[in-house]
Each structure stands twice: as C-alpha cells, then as structure tokens.
Structure 1
Amino acid sequence: MKLKNIALAVFLVGSSFLGACNNTGSEKSSATEAAETSTVPDSASTAQFAYICPMKCEGSASNTPGKCPVCTMDLVKNPDFKGTTLADSTAL
C-alpha cells in the first residue's frame, strides 16, 4: 500500500511539471512573432539614419560611423538613407 502511495505521488508531481511546460502552438508563435517585431526595426524607422547595425539591433542606428552599442559590430552604411552625412560632405 505504501508503494502505491509513493508511485501515485511521483506520478502526480511528474505530470504537474509536464503540464506546466505544455504550450500550445498559437501561444508560442504569437510570443515569437512579438519578439521578432520588437527587435528587428523596419526600413522606414531606420531610413533616417546613415549607419545601421548589420544584425539590426534595436537602438543601434546612428548618423556617424562607429560600433553597435548592443553587439559591438561595426555599423555599416544604410542603403535606405537618402540624405548626406558629415563624412560624405568632407570627402569632397
């Protein structure tokens, strides 16, 4: 009888852990989608900056060359930028 009670307790504890980790596909996809949209800036929001991070880190766009404050990669020229930068005007 004591062995049955121990087995039942182990089963209940194990099933509660497994049930807590069970996510539905819609919850997971919406969480993943929200994370992707918040970290990857669209081209309209970065078009005003001359340099952007190649990894598209949030808050890393700049009008001067340098390094990304998030991932420390070198910033690259933004192909969507339509203006001129200080570096462009001094090179003439």
Structure 2
Amino acid sequence: DSMGTSTGRVILFGTIPTTIPDTIPLIAPPTTDAPIIAPTIPPSPDYTSASPDYSPASEAESDPPEDPSSGHIPPLPAISPFLSPYDDTTVSDTSD
C-alpha cells in the first residue's frame, strides 16, 4: 500500500443533460436622456495674433536675405563636443 493522499477519479459514461436558452438576454438602455450641449467659444476681446511680425510672401521676397555673420547664428565649434580628443584607434596595445 502506498502512503499519502488518494486522488478520486470520475469516469462519465453518457451525456450530461443541459439546457441552452434560445434567446440572448438584452440589457435595456438607460432611460435618461443626456442633454446635447453645443460648444460655444466667445471671441476674446484682447486677442492678438501669435505671430505679429508675419508678412505675406510677396513682401518677404522683396526683403534682402539676412546676413549669417550678423550675430544671429552662433559660430560652430572647431571640435565637436561628441568626439573624444583621445582616439582609441591610434593606441596600440601590442608590443614588439
């Protein structure tokens, strides 16, 4: 005899009688009507354009191009900040 708990087994022969309803239960929609509110946005009395310096293309084309040396564009650095001053490819670990 083996010690421990025994597991019961059930073997079914035949069919288990079940009934499946032919109708699908429906959930009734809520009876309260939600009011429809139209969005109304009143104009702001102190509205100003986001870009007051905007000029039409015809006026912009007649203006001379801006000189890049006028100080609006910062000069590029001579050495890229993303490059290391120590190049690993020139260092050799092998000895003769």
Larger radius of gyration: 2
Q: TM-score, normalising length from structure 2?
A: 0.23
Q: Which has the higher contact order (CA 8 A, sep 6+)?
A: 1
Structure with the higher fraction of residues in strand conformation = 1
Structure with the higher fraction of residues in helix conformation = 1
Q: TM-score, normalising length from structure 1?
A: 0.24
